[in-house]
């Protein structure tokens, strides 16, 4: 019986070791295999998006720059999922410093992804609701500045939120091999407000407005009250293109909200803002899984992504002047 008891510990040689979560062998193998596959697929697919948008000059549009920022954050989410796999059985083997660093990076990347979603919603709002001013209001330089500010603000904000955990890694661990973090009440409310409530409200309000305008424009395009001039015909074409992009990114936003909300629901239900990564494994992995879904959505809705993957897999991307290829 002593041997059995020892095998249930994260570190059998230590009496202060945490207990390992017992799982049937088949369930454990299935869980690890599935999560490893999702993490690997997430990292690879998002890396393909980063390479596509970065390499092909024709894809250097304001909207695609936002998708690039989202793909970068999703790529790192895929890498962090490998660390989350370690916590499935409730044991952390990499030490307190790596635990604190893992949490810190996870918060930064998650916060940046939410901020990027807000920027995408603003981009689609301007494109659909004010198409004539879109090219002057939304430029590549302005988008680059907004993306940089999004990442910088996420780093600063999460550094303040996780200050105590960064100063003394492992200070809240109850046993050796634990990896938990505690956020004080004020920091918890601030994080909930600025990382969830405000961004989600902005996203929902903007996309509701986009939906209303899209419906009205669709009705206008179906009407045959008056003859359409050449200039008006060009405007309708632009609107159709922007509406299609809005629908595609709308799917991305909706999927993002579906994967994000359970995580914060669990966080809200946790007492004293205590979040144990093992007990919240399902909702955390669901949130990570969103990073894998985004590239799959692009495969179905963006012809340029399918074409760029074809060029990469056939190694034509290595040819001279391949960056000048026609992707649209």
Residues in the chain, pLDDT under 50: 1-6, 224-238, 271-279
CATH label of the domain that carries residue 216: 1.20.1070.10
pLDDT at 239: 55
* pLDDT tens-digit map of 217-256: 666 666 644 444 444 444 444 455 555 666 666 777 778 7
Is the residue at 112 inside a domain? Answer: yes
Is 16 within a domain?
no
DSSP string, 130-159: SHHHHHHHS-HHHHHHHHHHHHHHHHHHHH
Is 5 inside any structural domain? no
Domain count of the fold of the chain: 1
Give me the pLDDT at residue 240, please: 58
The residues, ordered by sequence, that sit 6+ positions from 236 with a Cβ below 8 Å of its Cβ are: 221, 228
| Residue 291 lies inside a defined structural domain of this protein | yes
Domain with 97, as residue range(s), is 28-221+229-324
Q: Which of 292, 259, 248, 253 lies closest to 48 in space, CA to CA?
A: 292
Confirm whether 10 is domain-assigned. Answer: no
Residue 15 within a domain: no
What pLDDT shows up at residue 190? Answer: 84
pLDDT of 46 reads 93
Question: What pLDDT is stored for residue 131 in this prediction?
Answer: 82
In a domain, 149, yes or no: yes
Q: Is residue 102 part of a domain?
A: yes
pLDDT recorded at residue 280 = 56
Instruction: Cite the DSSP H helix spans in 270-315.
Output: 281-301, 303-313
């Amino acid at each position: 019986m002593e041997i059995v008891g020892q095998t249930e510990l994260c570190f059998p040689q230590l009496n202060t070791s945490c207990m390992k979560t017992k799982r049937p062998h088949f369930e454990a193998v299935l869980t690890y295999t599935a999560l490893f596959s999702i993490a690997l697929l997430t990292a690879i697919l998002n890396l393909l998006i980063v390479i596509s948008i970065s390499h092909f000059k024709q894809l250097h549009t304001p909207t695609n720059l936002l998708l690039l920022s989202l793909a970068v954050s999703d790529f790192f989410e895929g890498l962090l999922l490998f660390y989350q796999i370690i916590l499935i059985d409730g044991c952390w083997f990499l030490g307190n410093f790596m635990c604190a660093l893992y949490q810190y990076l996870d918060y930064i990347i998650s916060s940046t992804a939410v901020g990027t979603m807000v920027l995408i919603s603003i981009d689609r709002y301007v494109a659909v609701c004010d198409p004539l001013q879109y090219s002057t209001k939304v430029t590549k330089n302005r988008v680059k500045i907004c993306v940089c500010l999004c990442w910088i603000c996420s780093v600063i904000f999460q550094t303040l939120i996780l200050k105590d955990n960064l100063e003394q890694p492992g200070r809240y661990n109850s046993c050796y091999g634990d990896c938990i973090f505690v956020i004080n009440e004020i920091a918890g409310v601030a994080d909930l407000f600025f990382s969830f409530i405000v961004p989600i409200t902005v996203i929902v309000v903007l996309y509701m407005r986009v939906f209303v305008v899209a419906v009205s424009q669709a009705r206008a395009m179906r009407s045959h009250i008056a003859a359409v001039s050449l200039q008006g015909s060009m405007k309708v074409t632009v609107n159709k293109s922007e509406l299609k992009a809005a629908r595609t990114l709308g799917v991305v936003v909706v999927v993002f909200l579906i994967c994000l909300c359970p995580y914060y629901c669990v966080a809200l239900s946790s007492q004293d803002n205590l979040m144990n990564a093992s007990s919240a494994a399902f909702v955390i992995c669901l949130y990570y899984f969103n990073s894998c879904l985004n590239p799959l959505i692009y495969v179905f809705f963006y012809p340029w992504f399918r074409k760029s993957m074809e060029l990469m897999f056939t190694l034509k991307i290595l040819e001279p002047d391949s960056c000048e290829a026609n992707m649209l």
